[in-house]
Amino acid sequence: MTADKEKKVRDPLFHIIKRGSIVWWKSALIRVAAVLIALIVVALITLLITGQNPIEMYKAMVDGAVGNELRIWNLLQDTALLLIVGLALTLSFKMRFWNIGGQGQIIMGAIAATACMKFLPGKVPDFAIYLIMIPAALIAGGIWALIPGLFKAYLKTNETLFTLMMNYIALNFAAFLTFRWSKNSGNNVIGIINRKTHEGWFPEIGGNGFVGRTFLLNVLIVFVMMLIVFVYLKYSKHGYEISVVGESEKTARYIGINVKKVIIRTVIISGAICGLAGLILVGGVHHTLTTDIEGGRGFTAIIVSWMAHFNPLYMALTSFLIVFLEKGAIQVASSPSLNLDDNFANIVTGIIILFIIGCEFFINYKIVFRKKKGGAS
Amino acid sequence: MDKIPALELKNITKTFGSIVANKDVCLTANKGEILAILGENGSGKTTLMNMISGIYFPDAGQIFINGREVVITSPKDAFDNGVGMIHQHFKLVDVLTAAENIVLGLEGRFNLKTATKEVASIAQKYGFDIDPMKKIYEMSVSEKQTVEIIKVLYRNANILILDEPTAVLTPQESDKLFDVLRRMKEEGKTIIIITHKLHEVLSLSDRVAVLRKGEYICSIKTSEADESILTEAMVGKKISLNIERKEPNNPVDRLVVKDLQCLNREGVHVLQDVSFTARSGEILGIAGIAGSGQRELLEAIAGLQHISSGEITYIDPKTDKHENLRDKTPVQIRQLGVRLSFVPEDRLGMGLVGNMDIVDNMMLRSYGKGKSVFLKRKEPRDLANEIINSLEVVTPSASTAVRKLSGGNVQKVLVGREIASTPTVLMAAYPVRGLDINSSYMIYNLLNQQKANGVAVIFVGEDLDVLVELCDRIMVIGSGRIAGFVDGREATKEQIGLLMTKNVSKPHSEKAEEVTQ
């Protein structure tokens, strides 16, 4: 018996086992549990640190995200804007091309769109503005991704650093242009372009009574993009090549795929979709160019893509979740009855996302606790 | 046998997810004994040994060493209990010397000079041939293995576990290793050797313990065992171990390689003056120490390796047209109508995509056919199901990722796909590596079928016993050049082993003087 006692002390309490596979409802259950636990943890932290009523805080979050019709449309539009960047990056990520240059590619698309809106009216017919503006934004975004893509394909440079650096060039280029194109020279504000004529603005859908009239088209474009990217990746030959190159370049060469061609083609498409996001931001949302127009989406979309395991349809959910939390956090920070600032709101968002990402561990692994042993002699 | 065993396992169980790797295994190993653990791939040999050496921790069961129960949670615990394991894949730091690797990880202060001396004395005691100051990256595979063994001895291990130690050695190197192991046994050490090669078991061990599907089946005194008894215990049924070798049917030249030269990225010759002919209806074996240029040769033929000089000519069986394959890409080769199939050594890294399912892997070669921008999954799905049925692939379904299949089933999927395109030349590099006996024989049969169909088969193998049983002709390659040709029906494996090592020490620039046939 003494040996048994000694053994218990030295036996590890639990060990971790990799799951072979998991049934879908179990993984769904784990994810739901993760969210619930996160909410409880956040509630406790809120109570202990701030003394505020967590229920009130949650109410404020929901109110901020879906409190009225306008907020719902804002939520949908922001979800769409995040999703489209996620879709763009996913194309690269599937190929293991770590494109973290979404920011720069969006900004370049936005710059091209702005230039068209600013300089084309009066020179070409109104409908032609769209015909020029759309390809211009796509090409601008595409080129911004193509440059690191070429270096990756031919010189095997590290695309992560390269795409990151391209962000700063785009960002400063945008800053320079807001200075150059500013309405009152020197104040660095371009202001709403074509405010009266709406040249180059995305058309509204629905009458004046419809709250979503300026949002609906943006959301629809992204929804269609999502379906296109889903089908492209899953059912097209190109999508298949992307997967093969991403999984194993050796296999790709073995079966005769032109790896360089696939890399270049894919990063152009990836950058062009980012350019499309920039186009929507200018033509459909802001109607101007600012240095922070991209709104951090180029980076947030990385989380969106990963959390959804690179599945375009799941990405709708992950971007919704992130935008919902963001919107909620803003309301929490601004609610006068709560006395919480945006730093605390960000802590809340951070904790919830941490739990959601962290629960992946329990989906891939299970923990087995030590069993009681009988009859050791 | 009434003394206390050096190692005793009682009811060891280990599961990974739903897979039971070991179930209620009981095993003993005595002092001064060589115990062979025999079993097919996936029978749980390595897992079991990993639990003794502290890599895994058992779910249930007890381990006794010299009669005392021990709990081993780390390799350090294992060393403290005198257990050391030499893994199949070496765990050495390339840029450090042998002596540095040996003392690496030991706690407390140490003096590299005295350590070097001690290493030298261990080497002398057991008859190892080692330079303690040599860097690992300059060493051959067998030297690296020696370092691993000394590392374990340096830590005063009394129980040595070797996981498939001869998989990477030539017959001569294996014999040398066995001598050393026998000497250790005389010293009173316990040697446990994991293997699936029957002749090694019979020539080396005192006792054999057989595992099958994670369970302990029996242990037999080697003196009372023979190949068929062991196979039956290992596989669970009687199987015939003979490979059928028919006379080639009307062989004609199919692939002629002439004066092939290839350089690697550093500009060193990896292939030099390689000339040979592969004929239809014949299996041409390629023997050699791993890394002697076999991979480069096959890849050069497949259009994956740049050729600096020489010719590769394919002779079309229907039109008799001669096609030069040099500097053509795999796609161009296919467009010429050359039906060349290639089963590469790196199955999951090259031949297949591990994360894709069987259906998508079937499409690898054929997805590009047709003008449509979309994939057609019907044909590959039919092919996948056909291969699953005809080659008895064990898989939940055709939409299971191939990475989740066992090694044998992965290989069946790959070979099945390559054969499905009715090749005229079939190249297979180490097609039975890591496969169990049943799967291996199925692969040999498939190669023989292809031979009977008039395919020119090129078979790169490592098991010389198989090469001399299966191949019509054997080309021996050493350091990127041909060391000689032998007739598969007459050659002995000792003869091949000698040819394999013959050229190694020669400088690369020298002109090959014997390209005989």
E-state strands within B329-409: 340-343
pLDDT score at A20: 67
Residue A237 to residue B364, Cβ atoms within 8 A: no
Fold (topology level) of B249-339+422-517: Rossmann fold (3.40.50)
Of B260, B194, B142, which is closest to residue B27 (Cα–Cα)? B194
Q: A41-45, B62-66, B289-293, B341-345: which range is least confident on average?
A: B289-293
Tens digit of each residue's pLDDT (9 = 90 or more) over B451-490: 999 999 999 998 888 899 999 999 999 888 999 999 999 9
Tens digit of each residue's pLDDT (9 = 90 or more) over B114-163: 888 888 888 888 888 888 889 998 888 888 999 999 999 998 899 999 99
pLDDT score at B29: 93
Residue B353 to residue A371, Cβ atoms within 8 A: no
* Token pair listed for B500: 């394999």
Of B408, B423, B11, B18, which is closest to residue A375 (Cα–Cα)? B11
Residue B58: φ, ψ to 5°: -65, 150
When computed from its CA atoms, the radius of gyration of chain A, rounded to whole angstroms, is: 25
CA A206 to chain centre: 28
pLDDT score at A121: 93
Say if A5 is an interface residue toward chain B (CB within 8 Å): no
Architecture of domain B7-235: 3-Layer(aba) Sandwich (3.40)
* Cβ neighbours of B16 in A, within 8 Å: 17-18, 20
Angle (CA) A328 A80 A309, round 5°: 90
Tens digit of each residue's pLDDT (9 = 90 or more) over B150-197: 999 998 899 999 998 887 777 788 888 999 999 999 989 999 999 877
Cβ–Cβ under 8 Å, residues B86 and B161: yes
* Token pair listed for B354: 């591990």
* Cβ neighbours of A21 in B, within 8 Å: 17-18
Q: List b or e across A263-280, with b for residues whose CB sees 16 or more CB atoms inside 10 angstroms.
A: bbbbbbbbbbbbbbbbbb
Scan residues 363-392 of B and list those with Cβ closer than 8 Å to A: 363-365, 367-368, 372-375
* Token pair listed for B381: 């799905």
pLDDT score at A1: 40
Residue B349 to residue A235, Cβ atoms within 8 A: no
Cβ–Cβ under 8 Å, residues B375 and B364: no
In chain A, the domains with their CATH numbers are 71-324 (1.10.3470)
Cα distances (angstroms) measured from residue A364 to each of A16, A35, B59: 10, 17, 19
Of B111, B191, B177, which is closest to residue B140 (Cα–Cα)? B177
Cα separation, B431 vs B443, in Å, equals 7
Angle (CA) B39 B44 B46, round 5°: 95
Residue A20 to residue B353, Cβ atoms within 8 A: no
* A3, A18, A247 member nearest B17 (Cβ): A18
pLDDT above 80: residue B434: no
pLDDT score at A222: 98
Cβ–Cβ under 8 Å, residues A278 and A117: no
* Token pair listed for B51: 């639990």
Cβ–Cβ under 8 Å, residues B17 and A20: yes
pLDDT score at B1: 45
Nearest CA distance, B131 vs chain A (angstrom): 37
pLDDT score at A176: 95
* Token pair listed for B180: 């050393």
Cα separation, B280 vs B286, in Å, equals 16
Cβ–Cβ under 8 Å, residues B436 and B41: yes
pLDDT score at B2: 52
Q: What is chain A's pLDDT, residue by residue, as a tens digit (377 residues)? A: 444 444 444 566 777 777 767 788 888 899 999 999 999 999 999 999 888 889 999 999 999 999 999 999 999 999 999 999 999 999 999 999 999 999 999 999 999 999 999 999 999 998 999 999 999 999 999 999 999 999 999 999 999 999 999 999 999 999 999 999 988 777 888 999 999 999 999 999 988 889 999 999 999 999 999 999 999 999 999 999 999 999 999 999 999 999 999 999 999 999 999 999 999 999 999 999 999 999 999 999 999 999 999 999 999 999 999 999 999 999 988 888 888 888 888 888 899 989 988 998 888 888 877 665 443 33
Residue A254 to residue B18, Cβ atoms within 8 A: no
Q: Which residue type is seen at A238?
A: H
DSSP B285-298: EEE-STTSSHHHHH
A373: helix, strand or coil: coil
* A17, A20, A240 member nearest B367 (Cβ): A240
Residue of chain B whose alpha carbon sits nearest to that of A8: B71
* Token pair listed for B363: 């499409």
First to last CA, chain A: 8
Q: Enter the pTM of the model.
A: 0.81
Neighbouring residues of B378: CB distance < 8 A, sequence distance ≥ 6: none
Cα separation, A36 vs B22, in Å, equals 38
Say if B80 is an interface residue toward chain A (CB within 8 Å): no
Residue B60 to residue A373, Cβ atoms within 8 A: yes
* Cβ neighbours of A256 in B, within 8 Å: 303, 329-331, 334
How many CB contacts within 8 angstroms connect chain A with chain B? 84
Residue A254 to residue B344, Cβ atoms within 8 A: yes
DSSP B44-78: SHHHHHHHHTTSS--SEEEEEETTEEE---SHHHH
E-state strands within B30-158: 34-38, 60-65, 68-70, 83-86
Cα separation, B446 vs A184, in Å, equals 80
* Cβ neighbours of A368 in B, within 8 Å: 59
Say if A375 is an interface residue toward chain B (CB within 8 Å): no
* Token pair listed for A101: 């240059």
pLDDT score at A135: 97
Nearest CA distance, A5 vs chain B (angstrom): 12
Nearest CA distance, A256 vs chain B (angstrom): 5
Of B291, B297, B290, B289, which is closest to residue B271 (Cα–Cα)? B297
Rounded mean pLDDT, B70-98: 89
* B425, β-bridge pairs: B340, B456
Q: pLDDT category, B89, cuts 50, 70, 90?
A: confident
Q: List b or e across A85-98, with b for residues whose CB sees 16 or more CB atoms inside 10 angstroms.
A: bbbbbbbbbbbebb
Cα separation, B432 vs A270, in Å, equals 42
Cα distances (angstroms) measured from residue B109 to each of A43, B81, B82, B112: 52, 21, 21, 10
Cα separation, B150 vs B132, in Å, equals 10
pLDDT score at A297: 96
Of B468, B490, B458, which is closest to residue B277 (Cα–Cα)? B458
Residue B405, judged by CB atoms within 10 A of its CB (0-12, 13-18, 19+), counts as buried
When computed from its CA atoms, the radius of gyration of chain B, rounded to whole angstroms, is: 25
* B57, B69, B374 member nearest A235 (Cβ): B374
Nearest CA distance, A275 vs chain B (angstrom): 24
* Token pair listed for A84: 């489209």
* Token pair listed for B376: 């057609």
* Token pair listed for B205: 């061990």
CA A368 to chain centre: 35
Tens digit of each residue's pLDDT (9 = 90 or more) over B265-290: 888 889 999 999 999 999 999 998 87
Cα separation, A172 vs B231, in Å, equals 72
Neighbouring residues of A310: CB distance < 8 A, sequence distance ≥ 6: A90, A93, A94
Residue A371 to residue B60, Cβ atoms within 8 A: yes
pLDDT score at A6: 45
Residue ranges, CATH 3.40.50.300, chain B: 7-235, 249-339+422-517
Residue A251 to residue B353, Cβ atoms within 8 A: yes
Residue B374 to residue A237, Cβ atoms within 8 A: yes
Residue A248 to residue B353, Cβ atoms within 8 A: yes
* Cβ neighbours of A11 in B, within 8 Å: 71
Nearest CA distance, B202 vs chain A (angstrom): 36
* Token pair listed for A224: 């269609």
Cβ–Cβ under 8 Å, residues A346 and A118: no
* A15, A235, A247 member nearest B353 (Cβ): A247
Residue A247 to residue B356, Cβ atoms within 8 A: yes
Cα separation, B117 vs B97, in Å, equals 14
Residue B304 to residue A253, Cβ atoms within 8 A: yes
Say if A367 is an interface residue toward chain B (CB within 8 Å): no
Residue B443: φ, ψ to 5°: -65, -45
Q: Which residue type is seen at A225?
A: M
Angle (CA) B425 A261 A308, round 5°: 105
Say if A19 is an interface residue toward chain B (CB within 8 Å): yes
Give percent helix, percent strand, percent coil of chain B, each to the nearest 5: 35, 25, 40
